[in-house]
Amino acid sequence: MITVESLNKTYGKKDNIFQALKDISFVIPDRQTTAIIGKSGSGKSTLMHIMSGLDHPTSGTVTVNGTNLFTMKSKEMDKFRANEMSFIFQAFFVEANQTCYENVMLPLEIARVPISKRRKMVMTALKAVELESKAQNFAATLSGGQKQRLAIARAIVNKPSIVFADEPTGNLDSTTGEKVIKLLFGLNHVLGCTIVLVTHDHDLAARCQQQISLKDGEIISMHTTPVAHHTNRKVGA
């Protein structure tokens, strides 16, 4: 469970003060898919960065599974992130000159997973995104959709409890994007990880169980759909 309480984030000082987040509070239950919706500049990326511990709030707390992120030492924070969180980005951020296998292994290296256990974990993750046949291919040879699937494999390989997905379909055409989203929601169902999806796409957001809409750093609406999964619904339907 992620609990966000009275989160404020301001940039600059005195006359140049800019409030990126204003008094944000919400709760995300375990295994839930949550969309943070907003236009660019709404503060949704800042919120995601703070929720993942990459950025510090000016005030307020984020508690993940009972642990306050901002009372942890940076060493503990890194360890926590390595074991509990992962990311999927709009621009994929897969290393083109490394093989698929090496790309997926990165989180395991960072989390210091023993070498003997890695192979099985990497192959399981690649299989989950149907890229096991490309294990030894360089990421540069993959299509955009394949790259994002590779990024998903990398995000789930260490079985994190939370996956942050920042505009995961932003660089993909709608058909490919749909495949990636289906895969992501399918994994949420199978692996039982919490997914926090940051997007400006309302249709995509509507397929999550919870929608948090941001505008100018404030929550303008919060909506929870009790339906368990929406994996079969089509984008724009």
Q: Catalog residues that contact other proteins under the rule CB under 8 A.
A: 49, 52, 54-55, 74-75, 77-83, 85-87, 89-91, 93, 95, 97-98, 102, 106-107, 109-112, 115
Cα–Cα distance between 29 and 210 in angstroms, integer?
A: 10
Cα angle at 96 between 182 and 196, to 5 degrees? Answer: 35
**CA-closest candidate to residue 171, choices 195, 147, 207, 153:** 147
CB closer to other proteins out of 117 and 229: 117
Shortest gap between Cβ of 156 and other proteins (angstroms)? 13
Shortest gap between Cβ of 109 and other proteins (angstroms)? 4
CB closer to other proteins out of 31 and 79: 79
- Beginning with the edge strand found earlier in the chain, give each strand of the sheet holding 2-11 in spatial order: 18-28, 2-11, 59-64, 67-68
CB closer to other proteins out of 184 and 210: 184
CA 207 to chain centre: 15
Residue 202 in tokens: 């309302």
| Amino acid making up residue 236 | G
Shortest gap between Cβ of 56 and other proteins (angstroms)? 11
Shortest gap between Cβ of 85 and other proteins (angstroms)? 7
Q: What is the DSSP string of 154-188?
A: HHHTT--SEEEEESTTTTS-HHHHHHHHHHHHHHH
Cα–Cα distance between 63 and 215 in angstroms, integer?
A: 23
Shortest gap between Cβ of 3 and other proteins (angstroms)? 21
CB closer to other proteins out of 26 and 89: 89
CB closer to other proteins out of 194 and 209: 194
DSSP assignment, residue 234?
A: P
CB closer to other proteins out of 2 and 108: 108
Shortest gap between Cβ of 70 and other proteins (angstroms)? 16
